[in-house]
Amino acid sequence: MIKVGVVGYGTIGKRIADAVALQDDMRVVGVVKMTPDYEAKIAAARGFPVYTAADRVEKFKKAGIEVAGTVEDLVKASDVVVDASPEDVGRENKEKYYRQLDKRYIFQGGEEADVAEVSFNALANYDEARGKRYIRVVSCNTTGITRVLSALLLNGIGIRKARIFIARRGADPKEHKKGPINDVVPNPTAVPSHHGPDVQTVLKDVDIVTMAVAVPVTIMHMHMAYIELDGPRSRDEVLEAFAKTPRIFLADVGSGFQSLAQFIEYARDLGRPRGDFPEVAVFRDSVTVRGDELYLMYGVHQESIVVPENVDAIRAALGVLPKWQSIEKTDKSLKLFTEGKRYA
Protein backbone atom coordinates (compact mmCIF):
# COMPACT_ATOMS: atom_id res chain seq x y z
CA MET A 1 0.00 0.00 0.00
CA ILE A 2 1.33 3.38 -1.02
CA LYS A 3 1.11 5.83 1.85
CA VAL A 4 -0.16 9.15 0.48
CA GLY A 5 -0.18 12.46 2.34
CA VAL A 6 -2.26 15.31 0.93
CA VAL A 7 -1.01 18.79 1.78
CA GLY A 8 -3.78 21.32 1.21
CA TYR A 9 -7.34 20.06 1.55
CA GLY A 10 -9.21 22.59 -0.57
CA THR A 11 -11.02 22.29 -3.89
CA ILE A 12 -8.46 19.95 -5.44
CA GLY A 13 -6.91 18.37 -2.36
CA LYS A 14 -10.14 17.04 -0.91
CA ARG A 15 -11.01 15.40 -4.20
CA ILE A 16 -7.57 13.84 -4.49
CA ALA A 17 -7.83 12.47 -0.95
CA ASP A 18 -11.20 10.89 -1.75
CA ALA A 19 -9.86 9.45 -5.01
CA VAL A 20 -6.78 8.02 -3.31
CA ALA A 21 -9.00 6.46 -0.65
CA LEU A 22 -10.79 4.55 -3.45
CA GLN A 23 -7.58 2.91 -4.73
CA ASP A 24 -6.73 -0.59 -3.51
CA ASP A 25 -3.00 0.09 -3.76
CA MET A 26 -3.01 3.37 -1.82
CA ARG A 27 -4.02 4.76 1.52
CA VAL A 28 -4.43 8.33 2.77
CA VAL A 29 -2.14 8.65 5.77
CA GLY A 30 -3.29 12.17 6.44
CA VAL A 31 -4.23 15.57 5.09
CA VAL A 32 -2.87 18.99 5.94
CA LYS A 33 -5.34 21.78 6.57
CA MET A 34 -4.42 25.30 7.68
CA THR A 35 -7.85 26.47 8.83
CA PRO A 36 -10.20 24.57 11.15
CA ASP A 37 -13.23 25.13 8.90
CA TYR A 38 -16.01 22.85 7.68
CA GLU A 39 -13.68 21.21 5.20
CA ALA A 40 -11.32 20.24 8.02
CA LYS A 41 -14.26 18.74 9.90
CA ILE A 42 -15.26 16.73 6.85
CA ALA A 43 -11.71 15.41 6.53
CA ALA A 44 -11.81 14.25 10.15
CA ALA A 45 -15.30 12.77 9.69
CA ARG A 46 -14.06 10.76 6.70
CA GLY A 47 -11.34 9.30 8.88
CA PHE A 48 -8.43 11.18 7.36
CA PRO A 49 -5.92 12.09 10.09
CA VAL A 50 -5.69 15.89 10.08
CA TYR A 51 -2.29 17.55 10.26
CA THR A 52 -1.51 21.24 10.38
CA ALA A 53 1.35 23.70 10.83
CA ALA A 54 2.93 23.63 14.28
CA ASP A 55 1.62 27.11 15.13
CA ARG A 56 -1.97 26.20 14.21
CA VAL A 57 -2.41 23.18 16.45
CA GLU A 58 -4.05 25.19 19.22
CA LYS A 59 -6.59 26.72 16.82
CA PHE A 60 -7.65 23.27 15.68
CA LYS A 61 -7.96 22.01 19.23
CA LYS A 62 -10.17 24.98 20.10
CA ALA A 63 -12.38 24.18 17.12
CA GLY A 64 -12.73 20.64 18.41
CA ILE A 65 -10.69 19.01 15.64
CA GLU A 66 -8.15 16.42 16.70
CA VAL A 67 -4.71 17.06 15.22
CA ALA A 68 -2.56 14.05 14.29
CA GLY A 69 0.62 16.07 13.99
CA THR A 70 2.50 18.70 12.03
CA VAL A 71 3.23 18.98 8.33
CA GLU A 72 6.68 17.50 8.97
CA ASP A 73 5.07 14.52 10.68
CA LEU A 74 2.81 13.86 7.71
CA VAL A 75 5.65 14.10 5.21
CA LYS A 76 7.62 11.60 7.29
CA ALA A 77 4.66 9.23 7.39
CA SER A 78 4.12 9.36 3.59
CA ASP A 79 5.67 7.62 0.62
CA VAL A 80 4.21 10.24 -1.71
CA VAL A 81 3.07 13.73 -0.80
CA VAL A 82 0.50 15.38 -3.06
CA ASP A 83 0.67 19.12 -2.59
CA ALA A 84 -2.61 20.82 -3.47
CA SER A 85 -1.88 24.09 -1.72
CA PRO A 86 -2.90 27.44 -3.18
CA GLU A 87 -0.74 28.84 -6.03
CA ASP A 88 2.92 29.35 -5.08
CA VAL A 89 2.50 27.80 -1.63
CA GLY A 90 3.56 24.46 -3.10
CA ARG A 91 6.94 25.96 -3.89
CA GLU A 92 7.24 27.38 -0.36
CA ASN A 93 6.38 23.97 1.06
CA LYS A 94 9.05 22.40 -1.10
CA GLU A 95 11.71 24.63 0.44
CA LYS A 96 10.32 24.38 3.96
CA TYR A 97 9.35 20.72 4.26
CA TYR A 98 10.08 18.55 1.22
CA ARG A 99 13.73 18.98 0.23
CA GLN A 100 14.95 17.43 3.47
CA LEU A 101 13.08 14.13 3.13
CA ASP A 102 13.59 11.55 0.41
CA LYS A 103 9.96 11.09 -0.62
CA ARG A 104 8.08 11.61 -3.87
CA TYR A 105 6.25 14.92 -4.28
CA ILE A 106 3.45 15.87 -6.62
CA PHE A 107 2.54 19.52 -7.25
CA GLN A 108 -0.40 21.10 -9.04
CA GLY A 109 -0.52 23.32 -12.13
CA GLY A 110 -0.81 26.50 -10.07
CA GLU A 111 2.94 26.17 -9.48
CA GLU A 112 5.44 27.19 -12.13
CA ALA A 113 6.76 24.28 -14.19
CA ASP A 114 10.25 24.50 -12.67
CA VAL A 115 8.98 23.50 -9.23
CA ALA A 116 9.28 19.92 -10.52
CA GLU A 117 11.52 17.78 -12.68
CA VAL A 118 8.68 16.95 -15.01
CA SER A 119 5.18 18.25 -15.83
CA PHE A 120 2.64 15.47 -16.12
CA ASN A 121 -0.41 14.29 -17.97
CA ALA A 122 -1.15 10.57 -17.87
CA LEU A 123 -2.08 10.19 -21.55
CA ALA A 124 0.74 12.38 -22.79
CA ASN A 125 3.86 11.50 -20.80
CA TYR A 126 3.27 9.01 -17.99
CA ASP A 127 6.52 7.23 -18.69
CA GLU A 128 8.56 10.41 -18.56
CA ALA A 129 7.52 10.83 -14.93
CA ARG A 130 8.44 7.32 -13.80
CA GLY A 131 10.65 7.43 -10.75
CA LYS A 132 10.88 11.21 -10.65
CA ARG A 133 11.08 12.81 -7.22
CA TYR A 134 9.20 16.02 -8.12
CA ILE A 135 6.24 15.86 -10.52
CA ARG A 136 3.82 18.64 -11.46
CA VAL A 137 0.33 17.75 -12.70
CA VAL A 138 -0.59 20.44 -15.22
CA SER A 139 -3.60 22.68 -14.56
CA CYS A 140 -7.21 22.02 -15.52
CA ASN A 141 -7.31 23.84 -18.86
CA THR A 142 -3.92 22.46 -19.83
CA THR A 143 -5.08 18.96 -18.90
CA GLY A 144 -8.17 19.36 -21.08
CA ILE A 145 -6.19 20.54 -24.09
CA THR A 146 -3.53 17.87 -23.58
CA ARG A 147 -6.10 15.07 -23.50
CA VAL A 148 -7.74 16.27 -26.71
CA LEU A 149 -4.42 16.58 -28.53
CA SER A 150 -3.18 13.27 -27.10
CA ALA A 151 -6.31 11.52 -28.34
CA LEU A 152 -5.36 12.60 -31.86
CA LEU A 153 -1.64 11.85 -31.54
CA LEU A 154 -2.16 8.44 -29.89
CA ASN A 155 -4.37 7.48 -32.83
CA GLY A 156 -1.91 8.49 -35.50
CA ILE A 157 -3.49 11.83 -36.35
CA GLY A 158 -0.72 14.40 -36.58
CA ILE A 159 -1.14 18.02 -35.50
CA ARG A 160 0.35 20.86 -37.52
CA LYS A 161 -0.95 23.57 -35.25
CA ALA A 162 -3.45 23.97 -32.44
CA ARG A 163 -5.14 27.28 -31.69
CA ILE A 164 -7.38 27.10 -28.64
CA PHE A 165 -9.77 29.81 -27.46
CA ILE A 166 -10.90 29.53 -23.86
CA ALA A 167 -13.92 30.98 -22.04
CA ARG A 168 -12.72 30.36 -18.49
CA ARG A 169 -15.04 30.05 -15.55
CA GLY A 170 -14.44 33.15 -13.44
CA ALA A 171 -14.46 31.36 -10.09
CA ASP A 172 -15.15 28.04 -8.44
CA PRO A 173 -18.61 27.64 -6.89
CA LYS A 174 -17.39 28.37 -3.37
CA GLU A 175 -15.26 31.40 -4.25
CA HIS A 176 -17.59 34.19 -3.18
CA LYS A 177 -15.09 37.03 -3.60
CA LYS A 178 -14.03 36.50 -7.20
CA GLY A 179 -15.49 37.92 -10.40
CA PRO A 180 -16.40 38.84 -12.97
CA ILE A 181 -20.13 39.57 -12.79
CA ASN A 182 -21.69 40.58 -16.12
CA ASP A 183 -18.35 41.12 -17.77
CA VAL A 184 -15.86 39.34 -20.01
CA VAL A 185 -12.25 39.80 -18.99
CA PRO A 186 -9.24 39.07 -21.20
CA ASN A 187 -7.29 36.67 -19.00
CA PRO A 188 -4.67 37.66 -19.86
CA THR A 189 -4.94 40.36 -22.51
CA ALA A 190 -1.56 39.33 -23.89
CA VAL A 191 -1.29 36.48 -26.37
CA PRO A 192 -0.59 33.64 -25.76
CA SER A 193 -2.23 32.83 -22.46
CA HIS A 194 -0.06 30.57 -20.28
CA HIS A 195 -1.95 27.45 -21.39
CA GLY A 196 -0.16 27.14 -24.73
CA PRO A 197 3.36 27.09 -23.27
CA ASP A 198 2.05 24.92 -20.44
CA VAL A 199 0.79 22.27 -22.88
CA GLN A 200 4.30 22.27 -24.34
CA THR A 201 5.70 21.15 -20.98
CA VAL A 202 4.03 17.77 -21.62
CA LEU A 203 3.61 17.72 -25.42
CA LYS A 204 6.92 19.29 -26.34
CA ASP A 205 6.63 19.35 -30.12
CA VAL A 206 3.14 20.76 -30.55
CA ASP A 207 2.76 24.19 -32.18
CA ILE A 208 0.08 25.66 -29.94
CA VAL A 209 -1.23 29.15 -29.20
CA THR A 210 -4.03 29.87 -26.73
CA MET A 211 -6.18 32.88 -25.87
CA ALA A 212 -8.40 33.10 -22.81
CA VAL A 213 -11.15 35.27 -21.37
CA ALA A 214 -12.90 34.93 -18.02
CA VAL A 215 -16.70 34.84 -17.91
CA PRO A 216 -19.27 34.97 -15.07
CA VAL A 217 -19.55 31.23 -14.69
CA THR A 218 -18.52 28.83 -11.92
CA ILE A 219 -19.54 25.59 -13.58
CA MET A 220 -16.85 24.64 -16.13
CA HIS A 221 -14.42 26.07 -18.65
CA MET A 222 -15.41 26.09 -22.33
CA HIS A 223 -12.84 25.63 -25.09
CA MET A 224 -13.27 26.39 -28.78
CA ALA A 225 -10.52 24.60 -30.67
CA TYR A 226 -9.14 25.10 -34.15
CA ILE A 227 -6.60 22.42 -35.04
CA GLU A 228 -4.73 22.01 -38.31
CA LEU A 229 -4.08 18.31 -38.84
CA ASP A 230 -1.23 16.71 -40.76
CA GLY A 231 -3.48 16.34 -43.77
CA PRO A 232 -7.10 15.88 -44.77
CA ARG A 233 -8.88 13.54 -42.36
CA SER A 234 -12.40 12.26 -41.99
CA ARG A 235 -14.71 13.31 -39.20
CA ASP A 236 -15.29 9.63 -38.32
CA GLU A 237 -11.59 9.08 -37.86
CA VAL A 238 -11.42 11.96 -35.39
CA LEU A 239 -14.57 10.90 -33.54
CA GLU A 240 -13.23 7.37 -33.23
CA ALA A 241 -10.01 8.70 -31.71
CA PHE A 242 -12.03 10.58 -29.09
CA ALA A 243 -14.36 7.63 -28.49
CA LYS A 244 -11.46 5.25 -27.83
CA THR A 245 -9.41 7.58 -25.65
CA PRO A 246 -9.95 7.35 -21.89
CA ARG A 247 -11.14 10.44 -19.99
CA ILE A 248 -12.90 11.92 -22.99
CA PHE A 249 -16.70 11.94 -23.07
CA LEU A 250 -18.58 12.50 -26.33
CA ALA A 251 -21.97 14.13 -25.83
CA ASP A 252 -24.86 14.59 -28.24
CA VAL A 253 -27.15 17.59 -28.35
CA GLY A 254 -29.93 15.14 -29.17
CA SER A 255 -29.38 13.46 -25.81
CA GLY A 256 -29.78 16.76 -24.02
CA PHE A 257 -26.18 17.93 -23.84
CA GLN A 258 -26.77 21.46 -25.04
CA SER A 259 -24.54 23.34 -22.64
CA LEU A 260 -21.92 22.88 -19.94
CA ALA A 261 -24.57 22.76 -17.22
CA GLN A 262 -25.90 19.51 -18.67
CA PHE A 263 -22.64 17.70 -17.93
CA ILE A 264 -22.78 18.66 -14.30
CA GLU A 265 -26.48 17.80 -14.07
CA TYR A 266 -25.65 14.38 -15.58
CA ALA A 267 -22.89 13.86 -13.01
CA ARG A 268 -25.32 14.80 -10.23
CA ASP A 269 -27.94 12.40 -11.56
CA LEU A 270 -25.33 9.64 -11.78
CA GLY A 271 -24.54 10.17 -8.11
CA ARG A 272 -20.96 11.12 -8.82
CA PRO A 273 -19.24 12.61 -5.78
CA ARG A 274 -19.77 16.38 -5.60
CA GLY A 275 -21.33 16.28 -9.10
CA ASP A 276 -17.85 16.07 -10.57
CA PHE A 277 -17.06 15.51 -14.25
CA PRO A 278 -13.38 14.53 -14.56
CA GLU A 279 -13.66 13.67 -18.27
CA VAL A 280 -13.13 16.21 -21.03
CA ALA A 281 -16.70 16.81 -22.18
CA VAL A 282 -16.71 17.06 -25.97
CA PHE A 283 -19.79 18.30 -27.84
CA ARG A 284 -19.88 15.67 -30.60
CA ASP A 285 -22.07 17.93 -32.77
CA SER A 286 -19.32 20.56 -32.75
CA VAL A 287 -16.67 18.19 -34.10
CA THR A 288 -16.20 19.44 -37.64
CA VAL A 289 -13.54 18.51 -40.17
CA ARG A 290 -12.95 20.68 -43.24
CA GLY A 291 -10.08 19.15 -45.16
CA ASP A 292 -7.17 19.33 -42.74
CA GLU A 293 -8.96 21.64 -40.32
CA LEU A 294 -10.59 20.30 -37.16
CA TYR A 295 -12.99 22.35 -35.05
CA LEU A 296 -14.54 21.35 -31.74
CA MET A 297 -15.94 22.63 -28.47
CA TYR A 298 -15.50 20.95 -25.13
CA GLY A 299 -15.99 21.58 -21.45
CA VAL A 300 -13.34 21.24 -18.75
CA HIS A 301 -14.47 20.75 -15.16
CA GLN A 302 -11.92 22.80 -13.30
CA GLU A 303 -12.56 21.20 -9.91
CA SER A 304 -12.10 17.57 -10.88
CA ILE A 305 -10.32 17.06 -14.22
CA VAL A 306 -6.87 16.76 -12.63
CA VAL A 307 -7.96 14.26 -9.97
CA PRO A 308 -7.37 11.05 -11.98
CA GLU A 309 -4.09 12.55 -13.23
CA ASN A 310 -2.89 12.94 -9.64
CA VAL A 311 -3.72 9.31 -8.85
CA ASP A 312 -1.69 8.21 -11.87
CA ALA A 313 1.13 10.58 -10.99
CA ILE A 314 1.46 8.83 -7.62
CA ARG A 315 1.97 5.48 -9.36
CA ALA A 316 4.29 6.99 -11.95
CA ALA A 317 6.42 8.57 -9.22
CA LEU A 318 7.00 5.19 -7.61
CA GLY A 319 7.12 3.27 -10.88
CA VAL A 320 4.73 0.68 -9.50
CA LEU A 321 2.47 0.23 -12.55
CA PRO A 322 2.82 0.71 -16.31
CA LYS A 323 0.96 3.62 -17.91
CA TRP A 324 -2.18 2.00 -19.27
CA GLN A 325 -2.65 -0.29 -16.28
CA SER A 326 -2.58 2.71 -13.98
CA ILE A 327 -4.96 4.75 -16.15
CA GLU A 328 -7.43 1.86 -16.36
CA LYS A 329 -7.23 1.13 -12.65
CA THR A 330 -7.83 4.80 -11.83
CA ASP A 331 -10.75 5.14 -14.24
CA LYS A 332 -12.48 2.02 -12.94
CA SER A 333 -12.02 2.95 -9.30
CA LEU A 334 -13.39 6.45 -9.91
CA LYS A 335 -16.25 5.05 -12.04
CA LEU A 336 -15.33 7.15 -15.06
CA PHE A 337 -16.83 6.15 -18.41
CA THR A 338 -14.77 3.17 -19.56
CA GLU A 339 -17.06 1.67 -22.20
CA GLY A 340 -15.35 1.49 -25.58
CA LYS A 341 -12.14 2.93 -24.19
CA ARG A 342 -8.82 1.41 -25.21
CA TYR A 343 -6.31 1.10 -22.39
CA ALA A 344 -3.26 0.23 -24.47
Residues in the annotated binding site: 11-12, 110, 139-141, 169, 195-196, 302
Is 239 an interacting residue with respect to a copy of itself (CB under 8 A)? no
Q: How many CB atoms lie within 10 A of CB 137?
A: 31
Q: Is 140 a catalytic residue?
A: yes
Q: Return the H-helix or E-strand segment holding 135.
A: strand 134-137
Is 259 an interacting residue with respect to a copy of itself (CB under 8 A)? yes
Q: How far apart are CA 214 and CA 221, in angstroms?
A: 9
For residue 165, the minimal CB distance to a copy of itself (Å) is: 4
- Residue 275-304 contact track with a copy of itself, rule CB under 8 A, x = bound: --------x-xx-x-x--x-xxx-x-----
| Binder among 224, 239, 318, 320 for a copy of itself (CB under 8 A) | 224
Is 306 an interacting residue with respect to a copy of itself (CB under 8 A)? no
The answer to whether 6 touches 16, Cβ cutoff 8 Å, is: yes
Of 291 and 319, CB closest to a copy of itself: 291
b/e per residue, 291-303, with b = 16+ CB within 10 A? eeebebbbbbbbb
Q: How far apart are CA 273 and CA 19, in angstroms?
A: 10
Number of residues this chain uses to bind a copy of itself (CB under 8 A) = 40
| Binder among 153, 220, 317, 321 for a copy of itself (CB under 8 A) | 220
Of 35 and 286, CB closest to a copy of itself: 286
The answer to whether 137 touches 185, Cβ cutoff 8 Å, is: no
Residue 156's region, left for phi above 0, alpha for psi from -120 to 50, else beta, is: left
Is 41 an interacting residue with respect to a copy of itself (CB under 8 A)? no
- Pick the catalytic residue: 34, 140, 167, 267? 140
Q: Please list every residue from 117 through 176 that binds a copy of itself, using CB under 8 A.
A: 163, 165, 167
Residues making contact with a copy of itself (CB under 8 A):
163, 165, 167, 180, 182-186, 189-192, 209, 211, 213, 215-220, 222, 224, 226, 253, 258-261, 283, 285-286, 288, 290, 293, 295-297, 299
